Structure 1
Amino acid sequence: MRDFHDPKRSPIYAANGALATSHPLATQAGLEVLKRGGNAVDAAVTAAAVLTVVEPAMTGIGGDGFALISKPGQPLYGLNSSGRAAAALSSEMLRGQGWQEMDDASAHSVTVPGVVKSWESLLESHGTIGLDAALQPAIHAAEDGFVVYPRVWSDWTDCAAKLAAQGAGAKHYLIDGKAPKLGSIHKLPALAATLKVIAAQGARGLYEGAVAADIVAELRSRGGVMTEEDMANHSADPCTPVSAGYRDIDLAELPPNGTGITAQIILNLLERFDLSSLAPNSVERLHLELEAARIGYAIRDAHIGDPETMGVSVDALIDKAWAKGLSATIDPAKRNATLPPVDPNFQSDTIYLSCVDRDGMAVSLINSVFKGFGSGIVTEKTGIHLQNRGAGFRVVEGHPNTIEGGKRPLHTIIPAMAMAGGKPRYCFGVMGGHYQPCGHSHVITNMVDFGMDPQEALDSPRVFWKPDGTLEVEPTLGQGVLDGLIAKGHKAAFSTSAIGGGQIIEIDHDAGVLIAGSDPRKDGCALGY
């Protein structure tokens, strides 16, 4: 129970259905679907489509999608619709051109967009409406216009220079070279027309024909090698989720090329510590979380990529016996200057939404264009901003995540589901690029170890590191926590922007009630009925 003297929001309680997204218009659109009798997948896809219009820095039809679905009486269902690198690409080719690392603004960083195929696949396998119906609110928002919300405006403003530098981005997404004004109404007519094509033709309206040709032409004009055949060959692939226990829950994540197992590794490392004996916002708790995350991310960087080229099994990476040895290297008193070896025993900007319907189906869905507005490359005719997910590849030879034609890159976006007694307890996800596995472990320990409700778990202050290794400490933690982390050997400073976002729906099966929270770091909300 939150402190009512502390002016924060309560979670939403509902008996028939609930939806939490990062934008009110998306939450409203999805809730209307639920109230008309649609199921959680119908509502989730409808909301996700709206988000591609109203929150464009974070998502778009030029991005990727993943999902987890829990349906009563059935095994957990996973879907990976991340795009692959153009078939003609190779690390040898890029090294020959002098590349040492991926350029996130290059056409070579653009992988095939996967999100539209994910929506169609989810609706066909688990939905009750078609893609045409699910896209109507998004088409309306793009054609008639939508009001620019504060966090959306902030993210948009940060990307204005990128859009202006890339060409057609200024035409579709800027006004006189700047982001639309906060509180103004912005229209996206070219995107509306493209969405209408997809509504009429299904996913092939993006992957074949004029829209695919426009994407390919834009990329090839910038030196890219993607072809219309690459577009047409995209597939949304069902996959078996990976489960790992933590205390009294089983955390389900999607397997690689996603990095969800990194969250499971972090929780394996934290499990030997009595976190509940610590204050949730204490230096001691945050230090342990960060030390476990540093080891987890080192394992991620060394081993995770396209599963077809990984040299280590998922079971080996989430092995609890191995984690026990690694966790013993975590010193509660100080930061470890040298991380332990991360080779196991070989034998052994993003949107996230959560939706649960009256029949108990739970959907954990995430879409992204990776960095703000992705690559910044926008198609001239169709108004699609293209992701730069290929920036997650390596160029070095022999790494499991080295870029090669047809490969999927290491992916940061990870939907999750925490199960208890074989039923979903928390349908959740945390946004924030590379922060996401750390964010999963943070909110799970908030709820499991500290008894927080979903809204409290999301409100809770966060700490994560910048690329240079400096810890960013959200200012609400206070000077004492900052000084305490520095005293333990961390290089740290207060963050200048919010760390990530997130949505959580808790399912209380005994009471028959849904408890939903939405991260205040975004514009969104949770609603239910």
Structure 2
Amino acid sequence: MRRFDLPGRSPVIAENGMAATSHPLASASALQALRAGGTAVDAALAASATLAVVEPQMTGIGGDCFALVAQADGTVHGINGSGRAAGGVDAAWYRDSGFAAIPPHSAHAVTVPGALRAWEALHQRYGRLPFERLFDDAVALAENGYPVAPRVAFDWAREAETLAGDPGAAIHLLPGGRAPVTGERVKMPGLAATLRRIACEGVSAFYEGAIAREIADTVQASGGFLTEADLAASTAEWVTPISTAYGGHQVMEIPPNGQGVVALIMMNLLTLTGAGDLRPGSARRYHLEVEAGRLAYAVRDAMLADPAHMTMSGADLASMDFARTLVGQIDPTRRNPSIQLPQLPGSDTVYLTVADRNGLVISFINSIYGAFGAQIVTPKSAVVLQNRGAGFSLAEGHPNMIAPDKRPMHTIIPAMATKDGKASISFGVMGGAYQPMGHAHVLSNLVDHGMDPQEALDHPRLFWAKGEEVLELEAGIAAGVADDLVALGHSVRPAPTPHGGGQAIVIDHADGFFVAGSDPRKDGLAIGY
């Protein structure tokens, strides 16, 4: 139990429905959909549409989506809504043109937005409310304006200079020629019109016709290869989750091209090393998480890609047998300097989770990858285009090498745990490369250390600095722990920004309640009824 005389908040406990998102207005949209008789999927889609307006630096209809849906009988289905590279790309062209990597703020990084195809498929299978109803809040907020939340304003200001370099971004994302500040009203009439059209005509209005033509023209005008045909060919794919056992639960992730397998490898390594038996705030616990993470991320960087191009399946990589081939490289008393430095792409993402009274639970994540994606925005339709293509490799022969119609290695990952054949925990931790580490850390907090969802998300984190063998420690980690990590061979320094953000819902089947938390590193909240 938390100290009530210290900053913090209690978990939210409710019976009829629960939603946890990264923004209060999105949580309100989800709750409204639930109370109107919608399913958890309806509520998640309504929240995601709202987030496309109120957290434009993180998510939008120009991005990708993954989700896990648990039914009342314990069956869990996954959907992969990640888009593909243009049909006309060629890795050799990039190498011959002097590219060492795909520039993140460029038309070459723009892949087909897959999110709306996933929204459509989710609604067709699990929705109850009319599809157009799910956009009501988003359209109203974009048209009438909304107050900018503190974390959103913080992120927005950091990108203002580069956003000014794109004509569409300057029009739609820099009202008055600058980034908006906390509490300022922002209107997005161009996006409102686009959302209204999608709501009324369906997602084909995005993938075909005037909007698709403008997306293709905008990308090609900046040197990219995306075409109308690429957009029209977009599909979402229902997939079988991959899983491993941890702490009495079966933990499920979306299979590659997503990096959920990295979290499962980490969990297997933590099981083999007994990390869950250590004090939650101890240096030894953080040390084992870091070493397990370094190994699991090295596997990701070498092997993870579109599954058609991988040499081992996601299920095989998630097996305990595979973890046993790695665990010998972990020394519980010392950092292993021979483990490869992880490659850490940047990312901005929203994760949310919703549960309804009929037993449907959704773990849902939507992203445009970097802050404001490629920072290319269509001038009329106001679509912020993702830069997921920056996740491709240009190395000859690498399984994740860019190729026509190929899905890139993907960072966004929703998670779901089951116990005794029923959904037990729906959770996710956003934040680009941090996400697998976040999944392992938060789940261990819940099942190894008995924390409630809010405590598990509040708990301080650490992660590597991009391109450096330095651990960046959040302020909540005690100075003594930092000293102990140095003694174990790690380099440390304070984290300049928080690591990720997340949401979690624990399903208490014994008492019939949902127990939820929302990460304080974002603006969001959990709410139920």
> TM-score category by the smaller chain?
over 0.9
1:98 equivalent to 2:80? Answer no
Whether contact under 8 Å (2:73, 2:421) holds in the other structure is: no
Whether contact under 8 Å (2:73, 2:422) holds in the other structure is: no
Distance of 1:134 and 1:215 partners within structure 2: 24
Tell me the equivalent position of 1:29. Answer: 29
Deviation, structure 1 residue 74: 5.8
Task: Call closer, same or farther: CA 1:468–1:422 in 2, change over 3 Å.
Answer: same
Tell me the equivalent position of 1:57. Answer: 57
1:224 equivalent to 2:215? Answer no
1:384 equivalent to 2:383? Answer yes
Deviation, structure 1 residue 139: 0.4
Whether contact under 8 Å (1:482, 1:494) holds in the other structure is: no
Secondary structure of the residue aligned to 1:328 is helix
1:152-167 map, 5 Å: 152-167=152-167
Distance of 1:297 and 1:277 partners within structure 2: 23
1:15-414 map, 5 Å: 15-73=15-73, 75-339=75-339, 349-414=348-413
Q: Which amino acid aligns with 1:434?
A: A
Whether contact under 8 Å (2:74, 2:423) holds in the other structure is: no
Distance of 1:232 and 1:127 partners within structure 2: 24
Tell me the equivalent position of 1:465. Answer: 464
Distance of 2:278 and 2:428 partners within structure 1: 24
Task: Call closer, same or farther: CA 1:276–1:253 in 2, change over 3 Å.
Answer: closer
The superposition leaves residues 249-268 of structure 1 with CA deviations (integer Å, 9 ceiling, x where unpaired) of 11000000001010000011
Distance of 2:525 and 2:300 partners within structure 1: 32
Q: Which amino acid aligns with 1:170?
A: A
Secondary structure of the residue aligned to 1:475 is coil
Q: Which amino acid aligns with 1:47?
A: A
Deviation, structure 1 residue 176: 3.4
Q: Which amino acid aligns with 1:473?
A: L
**Mean Cα deviation higher: 293-302 or 70-79:** 70-79
Tell me the equivalent position of 2:443. Answer: 444
Whether contact under 8 Å (1:501, 1:519) holds in the other structure is: yes
Whether contact under 8 Å (1:124, 1:130) holds in the other structure is: no
Task: Call closer, same or farther: CA 1:199–1:315 in 2, change over 3 Å.
Answer: closer
The superposition leaves residues 425-484 of structure 1 with CA deviations (integer Å, 9 ceiling, x where unpaired) of 100100000000010000011111111110000000000012223211001113222222
RMSD over equivalenced CA pairs, Å? 1.4
**Mean Cα deviation higher: 83-92 or 327-336:** 327-336
Secondary structure of the residue aligned to 1:517 is strand
Tell me the equivalent position of 1:6. Answer: 6
Structure 1 unmatched runs, 5+: 343-348
Tell me the equivalent position of 1:425. Answer: 424
Tell me the equivalent position of 2:500. Answer: 500
Distance of 1:13 and 1:209 partners within structure 2: 45
Deviation, structure 1 residue 336: 0.2
User: Which of structure 1's runs of 4+ aligned residues deviate more than 6 A?
Assistant: none
Distance of 2:419 and 2:476 partners within structure 1: 32
Distance of 2:259 and 2:341 partners within structure 1: 19
Distance of 1:271 and 1:20 partners within structure 2: 28
**Mean Cα deviation higher: 113-122 or 185-194:** 113-122
Distance of 2:316 and 2:142 partners within structure 1: 46
Whether contact under 8 Å (1:41, 1:122) holds in the other structure is: yes
Tell me the equivalent position of 2:345. Answer: none
Deviation, structure 1 residue 247: 2.5
Whether contact under 8 Å (1:293, 1:438) holds in the other structure is: yes
Distance of 1:88 and 1:340 partners within structure 2: 33
Distance of 1:230 and 1:214 partners within structure 2: 13
TM-score (norm 2): 0.97
Q: Which amino acid aligns with 1:279?
A: R
Secondary structure of the residue aligned to 2:369 is coil
1:485 equivalent to 2:478? Answer no
Secondary structure of the residue aligned to 1:190 is helix
Secondary structure of the residue aligned to 1:299 is helix
Tell me the equivalent position of 1:346. Answer: none
Q: Which amino acid aligns with 2:28?
A: Q
Secondary structure of the residue aligned to 1:20 is strand
Q: Which amino acid aligns with 1:90?
A: D
Deviation, structure 1 residue 324: 2.2
**Mean Cα deviation higher: 463-472 or 77-86:** 463-472
Distance of 1:197 and 1:408 partners within structure 2: 28
TM-score (norm 1): 0.97
Deviation, structure 1 residue 325: 3.7
Distance of 2:504 and 2:417 partners within structure 1: 11
Whether contact under 8 Å (2:275, 2:289) holds in the other structure is: no
Distance of 2:267 and 2:246 partners within structure 1: 7
The superposition leaves residues 136-184 of structure 1 with CA deviations (integer Å, 9 ceiling, x where unpaired) of 1100010000000100100111111121112221111113332112111
Deviation, structure 1 residue 18: 0.3
**Mean Cα deviation higher: 50-59 or 467-476:** 467-476
**Mean Cα deviation higher: 398-407 or 476-485:** 476-485
Whether contact under 8 Å (1:65, 1:367) holds in the other structure is: yes
Deviation, structure 1 residue 340: 8.5
Q: Which amino acid aligns with 2:293?
A: A
The superposition leaves residues 84-103 of structure 1 with CA deviations (integer Å, 9 ceiling, x where unpaired) of 00000011121121112111
Q: Which amino acid aligns with 1:115?
A: A
**Matched residues, number:** 523
Distance of 1:358 and 1:84 partners within structure 2: 36
Task: Call closer, same or farther: CA 1:276–1:78 in 2, change over 3 Å.
Answer: closer
Q: Identity of paired residues, percent?
A: 48
Q: Which amino acid aligns with 1:384?
A: V
Deviation, structure 1 residue 341: 13
Whether contact under 8 Å (1:20, 1:504) holds in the other structure is: yes
Whether contact under 8 Å (1:257, 1:305) holds in the other structure is: yes
Distance of 1:449 and 1:103 partners within structure 2: 41
